[in-house]
Structure 1
Amino acid sequence: MELSRPAMPDTLPAASQFRLAYPQTAKGDISETQFGEAIADPYRWLENDVRVDAKVRDWVTAQNGVTDAYLQTLPGRAAFAGRLKALYDYERFGLPVKAGTRYFYMRNSGLQNQAVLYVRDGLDGTPRLLIDPNPWAKDGATALAEWKPSKDGKYLVYAIQDGGTDWRTLKVLDVATGQPMADEIKWAKFTALAWTKDGKGFFYSRFAEPEAGQQFQSLNLDQTLYFHKLGTPQSADIKVYATPDRPKLSHTGQVTDDGKWLVITSAEGTDARYEITLIDLTRPGVAPRTLIGGLENNWELAGNKGSLFYFLTNRDAPRQRVVTIDVASPSLKLAEIVPETAATLDGAAIIGDKLVLTYLSDAKGVAKLATLDGKPAGDVALPGIGSIGGFGGEPGDPETFFSFTSFNAPTTIYRYDTATGRATVFAQPRTAFNPADYEVSQRFYTSKDGTRVPLFVVHKKGLDLKGGAPTILYGYGGFNISVTPAFSPANLAWMEAGGVYAQASIRGGGEYGKAWHDGGRLAQKQNVFDDFIAAGEYLIAEGVTTRGKLAVRGGSNGGLLVGAVVNQRPDLFAVGLPAVGVMDMLRFNRFTAGRYWVDDYGDPGKETDFKVLRAYSPYHNVHGGTDYPAILVTTADTDDRVVPGHSFKYAAALQAAAIGTKPHLIRIETRAGHGSGKPTDKIIEEYADLWAFTARWTGLDLPAAH
């Protein structure tokens, strides 16, 4: 069942004259006693799937009607929409993947709803369009997701993502002809794609087909690793690895560059605590061998030289190091190759005859080279302060590619030779702005408990900060995910209009390794909120902004962050923008991927965890009697990562509470999910709404529409 927004009238009152009347939301009488406390859940009916429950569907339609009518009154909306369209209209490239003599890469010409896959025969070959997903759906909401060429570049397995869901349908392409083959695989999810060296088939991960009507809500359990042989039906696929006695484990496969080994990484949650299982592909029928057990540490394969395997790990090294394990030795002893340093080791790979090591130094990217025995072999020169990605490749071939981006620098792709240390531009976009017009600075502030936290502040050069400027403060703070400098046309549109963009690298992320992550999860989760609140107080104290001009924004775990800090300090913020947030911390583990998150949040079924979660759960801590900032909640009907019921219930609680006269609205996108695969036109529309709303309530003066 698809939803659509009602058409807007031709003329609407100005925002100052608009009378906001929220739709009536029915209250249920559900109350459950948990560990001695009665927990009311009056809006539980909003957890039901919008495609299945007509009452939820009607509620969504009514909410969107009120929200859209209000947003249409905002004077800056058309100006932002026009400028966003111009800023998004630039050529964008993904990192190339080399297979045989072919190079595969994604490209968006500018305003294409979905990026397109190209291939070149040879580095300087003529680009040939291979897969264009834009015709797949009239609304542009069906995307090309993961893809992987066979080692010789003859075939390509690719994933189709429809409407933003995490579910994938896998298909195979003959690269020479560009024609799809008959192979098709359904119900793949959270999967890697790994070809055998001979290109006759590949490994993938999937779940069992869910019951009818439950594909967007049922828990993800019993993930299984399969092998698919080309030219055969999915029913013939071979089950390679499963743990039915441990249904919470997920499994992904990776084939070593020499084609001899299948490395299976298993995890129970989102925390980087893995088990590693090895299958010798040269000896069919040999039982899998546990290489690393216990779910205690991070283990990421950097490559292998014969039986000597290189891993990045945080075992005995909170900021990570590189070790080797000789899998031919019964002892499986670790040998340290690259020791832990003050910077956080973020990635490692064997390229040519070198190790390429990427680090985070105060949330900024650094890349270094080392010999295979760990001796320093130089630095990779970077264009400035920013973030780096890529460095894929294999032993014996010194060619690799990396990306560089910063707040004022769109992603540029570089080709790098580890033998010569030479970097050349592979693809650099031209944009409708001058990067030199923007100032990027990194500052440090002190959180409530004295912890030093990095903060990036970006704005137009020469911006008059007397009296403070309207400012958007962004944060995430969870799951060991590092928040680093990155280019966003949307953020640029905000800064062009005279706003400031600030980004805090708060605890819960991976910027400073395991201790930084642990300092913001489980019983320490309040540190995340304290760090974010302290960032806001710092920006005000430094004169960057004022209480009446400060907006806070975050998505997913960052949506939880916004919901929590707005409840805890409604006086500090003028605007709250929680996107696809985890808002009910007492039931998050009952839907789709939610059960993975107990690593970061804890288990609501355990009393000690319950008390922590109950204390900050956004849905359960909306209290009347205090004026709240203006809030625009955003979610999507096909989000099967953080089910939209979280945002539905939270918005209903906001609208029912006596929290002042500022608008507390929810914007529900149709045919979209948690974020990936969203068409460009929907992204532009959403940001036009967000920035116009934020401008209205932070006092940002906007020019007329272009």
Structure 2
Amino acid sequence: MVARLALAAALCFTAAPLAAQDTDTDDPYVWLEEIQGERALAKVDQWNADTEAVLTEQPEYPLAKAWAKQILDDTRQIALPDAIQGDMVTNLWRDADNPRGLWRIASLDSYTAGAPEWRVLIDVDQLGRDEGQSWIWHGANCLAPEYRRCLVSLSPGGTDADVVREFDIESGSFVEGGFTLPEAKSNVAWFDEDTLFVGTDEGAGSLTESGYPRLVKLWDRATDFSTARQIAEGEQADISVSGFSVLDGETRWRFVNRSPSFWTNEISLVKDDGSAVPLPLPEDAEFEAVLGGFVIAKLNSPFETGTGTEQAGALLAWSLEDVMRGSDPAPFAVFRPSETQAVEEVAASESKLWVKVLDDVSGKLIELTPGNGEWTAREMDMPANSTIQIAETSGTGDTAFVTVESMLSPPTLYAVPSEGDAAVIASEPAQFDASKFTVEQKFATSKDGTKVPYYLVRPKDAEGPLPTLIHAYGGFRAAQTPKYLTAEPYRSGPLGLFWVESGNAYVLANIRGGGEYGPRWHEDALREKRQNSFDDFHAVADDLVTNRLATPGRIAASGRSNGGVLVGAVANQRPDLYGAIISGSPLIDMRRYNKLLAGASWMAEYGNPDVPEDWAFMKEWSPYQNMSDDPGVPAAFYYLSTLDDRVHPGHARKAAAKHEAFGQTFYYHEYREGGHSVGSDHEEDAKRAALLMAYLNREIGKDAD
């Protein structure tokens, strides 16, 4: 096998005890945390070469790569709106000729008619060539209601750190002498046409321990940033502090948000003079939207309103006018989800609130109309048993732009008006013959009796167990909803399609830790309850085996980012069940994660390993500390980016080094650009999908022993 290598002399490794380590002082692989270290990159290059030498020679590799590139570059893809800007719409378009993208604009009328007349604003590829930079588009924030001036964010190589530059829509050029910020993890937003909210790296003391801005300043046009006036600051241990504004009709509401932890926020209303008045939202509520002078927030724990107790998951409204006057507004509920429902997305148009709800993981679109203390809800007529996502809403008029898809149905973009029928704007073409496959939603029973939903795709009329790929996430309230197979699993392009087209099965598991059933589903996997997430994943795999749909050892576990903790833990706990592990941009070393890049920001999710009481439960499942020298462990494939400045590449590197020292099979692909999302263009995305397909065939599929 590709990485069943002899002990590498360069590693000078002595096998560690099999029990989880209580400290990180004796870790022999800390040197691999030096992101651009010469020795570390030499080892990365070796692992990349070893992996490619084997997998690119597999007969399916060139076919899979070509097919993936064709799908990703298909010019018939939907041009999704980045933003609705008055009577205009913007979009970032990527294809074979424009791998980094064209940022462009068209009239809303031509767009909704299905025949947009685009004008290119920024050719990201050409800009990179002109400036000698590998620019990756990270979005634009345009000032409403004129939408003439925009703050454009560009990342060198795909890191979370951006360069921010002011752009003029009318002239199609960057503003000479306009607002500009150098590369940093900045928080930047419009205060008004001539003033910005800015939080950025100003040197010592300006960032939190998590590496995000600790200060918020107001920066006036045509002045040096050193003269900017500070209006808010957080603590060193906070996650971040930021300013932002929301246009509600003709009123611009301004806010400052301090995040003491990943799951708590202290939001204040900012007056014209920069002074602030705290909002009465619960600290763990999520700010969702502003409409008609009310701030809308989602509860994540029960809340006493004065007239009763509202349950977690409900949407509540508070009067901003009352806050501005200094009075204590009485909140009221505008939407209460049922037991099987969870509010996943909220967006405001001119006079309506649009809510995307999951109901047993199936999408529904709800329109809310404000009333006197009571808002009326109407479920919109959309395709059933589908994944629905709100792409954008119109600021003038009441139209939601919504995509609808399923595992076997390609995405369709609808314009959903408040009055009248939804209209199809664009549909992606079918990329495969869906009649060959079946999709079922099933429920497994976890160790504690919880019913865990999952989606299963198999070839129609297939009998008996099949090699099976299970993808899951299980964290940070992020629900995993079924997408068209060309996009499953996340960041692996059309791998799901390639896998089932080869006669295998693909599963999307909705394990706890996500937001599929609202706050409770997340809370059941927080900190000391994390094992519930792993038990849910095992339960899905066991359910497949029990029902003769899969075979132990011919099951692959796939996860990315937080999913790296997941697949690393399940591989350690049940090596009998899994034969392969796909771990993308992964968290793995939970003993040191809070010391690496943005890791400190996630301690509310996992725990603080420097606190003995927390490490006592974390060390039971931390993947790195529990790796075993057992030769029968599942073969892992790690994919990541050197420039990931969110999850440190050292996690995957150190896990690979342990596998190598143990003489175990592993595969490794570290891309030098791309940031946390890994791929910076479709060429790399296609290559990764093909490598993963060849790997799965080799380990659990047609080529497995």
TM-score normalised by structure 1 residue count: 0.87
Deviations 1:531-584 (A, max 9, x none): 111111112222222123211110111011111110111111111111111111
CA spacing shift, 1:628–1:83, aligned 2, 3 Å = same
8 Å CA contact retained: 2:313, 2:336? no
Structure 1 CA distance for aligned equivalents of residues 13 and 245 of structure 2? 48
User: Which letter maps to 1:155?
Assistant: R
Deviations 1:50-91 (A, max 9, x none): 32x222122222222222222233232122112212222322
CA spacing shift, 1:195–1:413, aligned 2, 3 Å = farther
Point out 4+ residue stretches in structure 1 off by more than 6 angstroms.
28-32
Indicate the residue corresponding to 2:90 in structure 1.
104
Query: How far 1:608 sits from its partner (Å)?
Result: 1.4
From 161, 183, 201, the counterpart of 1:207: 201
Indicate the residue corresponding to 2:398 in structure 1.
398
Indicate the residue corresponding to 2:412 in structure 1.
412
Indicate the residue corresponding to 2:477 in structure 1.
480
User: Which letter maps to 1:383?
Assistant: P
8 Å CA contact retained: 2:287, 2:295? no
User: Which letter maps to 1:149?
Assistant: C
Structure 2 CA distance for aligned equivalents of residues 437 and 236 of structure 1? 65
8 Å CA contact retained: 2:72, 2:95? no
1:367-386 equivalences in 2 (<5 Å): 367-373=365-371, 374-386=374-386
CA spacing shift, 1:518–1:416, aligned 2, 3 Å = same
Indicate the residue corresponding to 2:40 in structure 1.
56
Query: How far 1:231 sits from its partner (Å)?
Result: 5.1
8 Å CA contact retained: 1:300, 1:313? no
8 Å CA contact retained: 2:168, 2:175? yes
Query: How far 1:605 sits from its partner (Å)?
Result: 1.2
Q: Which moved more, 1:137-146 or 1:166-175?
A: 137-146
Query: How far 1:229 sits from its partner (Å)?
Result: 4.2
8 Å CA contact retained: 2:671, 2:678? no
Deviations 1:237-265 (A, max 9, x none): 44442225665443342334244321223
8 Å CA contact retained: 1:470, 1:695? no
From 164, 168, 179, the counterpart of 1:170: 164
1:309-324 equivalences in 2 (<5 Å): 309-316=295-302, 317-324=311-318
From 277, 289, 292, the counterpart of 1:289: 277
Query: How far 1:649 sits from its partner (Å)?
Result: 0.9
User: Which letter maps to 1:75?
Assistant: P
Structure 1 CA distance for aligned equivalents of residues 604 and 447 of structure 2? 24
8 Å CA contact retained: 1:141, 1:163? yes
Query: How far 1:701 sits from its partner (Å)?
Result: 6.7
User: Which letter maps to 1:366?
Assistant: K
> In structure 1, the residue corresponding to 2:355 is in which secondary structure?
strand
Query: How far 1:517 sits from its partner (Å)?
Result: 0.6
Q: Which moved more, 1:23-32 or 1:559-568?
A: 23-32
8 Å CA contact retained: 1:114, 1:677? no
Instruction: Answer yes or no: is 1:128 the counterpart of 2:119.
Output: yes
Deviations 1:261-306 (A, max 9, x none): 21223223332x221111023xx25x211113773x2231321323
Instruction: Answer yes or no: is 1:354 the counterpart of 2:338.
Output: no
Deviations 1:101-134 (A, max 9, x none): 2221222346742332210134216211112212
1:265-284 equivalences in 2 (<5 Å): 265-271=257-263, 273-281=264-272, 284=273
8 Å CA contact retained: 2:238, 2:261? no
Deviations 1:119-170 (A, max 9, x none): 0134216211112212344799531112122211212221102222110111
> In structure 2, the residue corresponding to 1:68 is in which secondary structure?
helix
Structure 2 CA distance for aligned equivalents of residues 511 and 526 of structure 1? 18
TM-score normalised by structure 2 residue count: 0.87
8 Å CA contact retained: 1:269, 1:599? yes
> In structure 2, the residue corresponding to 1:547 is in which secondary structure?
coil
Indicate the residue corresponding to 1:71 in structure 2.
55
CA spacing shift, 1:129–1:222, aligned 2, 3 Å = closer
CA spacing shift, 1:41–1:312, aligned 2, 3 Å = same
8 Å CA contact retained: 2:585, 2:676? yes
Indicate the residue corresponding to 2:79 in structure 1.
93
Indicate the residue corresponding to 2:491 in structure 1.
none
Structure 2 CA distance for aligned equivalents of residues 76 and 269 of structure 1? 46
Query: How far 1:97 sits from its partner (Å)?
Result: 1.8
1:602-621 equivalences in 2 (<5 Å): 602-621=607-626
Query: How far 1:27 sits from its partner (Å)?
Result: 4.2
Structure 2 CA distance for aligned equivalents of residues 676 and 89 of structure 1? 17
> In structure 1, the residue corresponding to 2:109 is in which secondary structure?
coil
Structure 1 CA distance for aligned equivalents of residues 261 and 139 of structure 2? 21
CA spacing shift, 1:252–1:453, aligned 2, 3 Å = farther
Indicate the residue corresponding to 1:189 in structure 2.
185
Structure 1 CA distance for aligned equivalents of residues 694 and 237 of structure 2? 49
8 Å CA contact retained: 1:562, 1:577? yes
Indicate the residue corresponding to 2:287 in structure 1.
300
CA spacing shift, 1:632–1:41, aligned 2, 3 Å = farther
CA-atom RMSD in angstroms = 3.1
> In structure 1, the residue corresponding to 2:280 is in which secondary structure?
strand
Q: Which moved more, 1:251-260 or 1:19-28?
A: 19-28
